Amino acid sequence: MKAVILAGGFGTRISEETHLKPKPMIGIGGKPILWHIMKTYSHYGINDFVICLGYKGYLIKEYFFNYSKHSSDITVDLSDDSLQVHNNYAESWKVTLVDTGEDVMTGGRLRRVSPYIKDESAFCLTYGDGVSDVNIGELIKFHQQHGKLATLTAITPLERFGVLDLADDHRIQAFREKPKENKVYINGGFFVLSPQVLNYIDGDDISFEKQPLEKLTAENNLYSFKHNGFWQCMDTLRDKNYLEELWDTRQAPWKVWS
């Protein structure tokens, strides 16, 4: 099975980083968040990727073109411009990098990579800016069992602000995370889709999250895979620092690989 990753947005809410690089190339522990997402899929045996490029997509191309050099020790002989790679390490990945345009919506990007996925029985799709410990194997199994066209991972995000327990006299009794009573689920990405879903996208200006998903819902063709574990997107610098802290303290829940 292939995994399609949407990696073309501008990332304006984290412009401190994205004025230099596309958001999927923002680092966590010295590796792009895109790498972390791909490592998650690879852990479940998915090693064939189609990446939808847009804003500064050439930097993502350069990263993968030089991946072995980034991951290995090298000796450069400047006298003859030769290169020797030591302890060559490479992932067992096949990566197709497709320029899907800078101003194209998510549905349009998916439509533009249709030649690479139209013959699949099903494929995965996610965003290039979010990590999770979702069990991809169970997600795919669930999709296959219900037999409909589309599955999305439904998540309950943590609130950005904690809750104060206050006494009647206004004393603060405790700090705690906002509870998840009366859970509200949102779209967490990590889709599994039939190629027939491509027929629901009419052009470049279609947001996949709007008309296609709404039509699939109306036809009872969209199911949710509920995930109550870790999920975090990287929308802001605060999000990036939070993910860095988890990684640096060896508490990153999304690191399911060894």
pLDDT of residue 12: 82
Nearest-5° Cα angle at 251, 183 to 39: 90
pLDDT at 14: 86
pLDDT at 160: 54
Q: Strand, helix or coil at 105? A: coil
Q: What is the pLDDT of residues 135-166, one digit of tens each?
A: 999 999 999 999 999 999 998 876 655 554 54
Distance between CA 29 and CA 43 in Å, rounded? 19
Nearest to 213 by CA among 62, 106, 80: 106
Per the CB < 8 A criterion, the answer to whether 20 and 14 are in contact is no
* pLDDT value of residue 165: 55
Burial environment of residue 182 by CB neighbours within 10 A (0 to 12, 13 to 18, 19 or more)? exposed
d(CA 157, CA 126): 17
* Rg for the chain, CA atoms, rounded: 20
State residue 170's pLDDT score.
44
Residue 10: phi and psi, rounded to 5, are: -85, -25
pLDDT tens digits for range 224-234? 999 999 999 99
Task: State which residues of the chain have pLDDT below 50.
Answer: 164, 166, 170-172
- Within 10 A of 245 (CB to CB), how many other CB atoms are there? 12
Residues 255, 223: Cα–Cα separation, whole Å: 26
pLDDT score of 15: 84
pLDDT of residue 172: 40
Round to whole Å and give the CA distance between 201 and 67. 33
Alpha carbons 94 and 76: distance in angstroms, whole number:
27
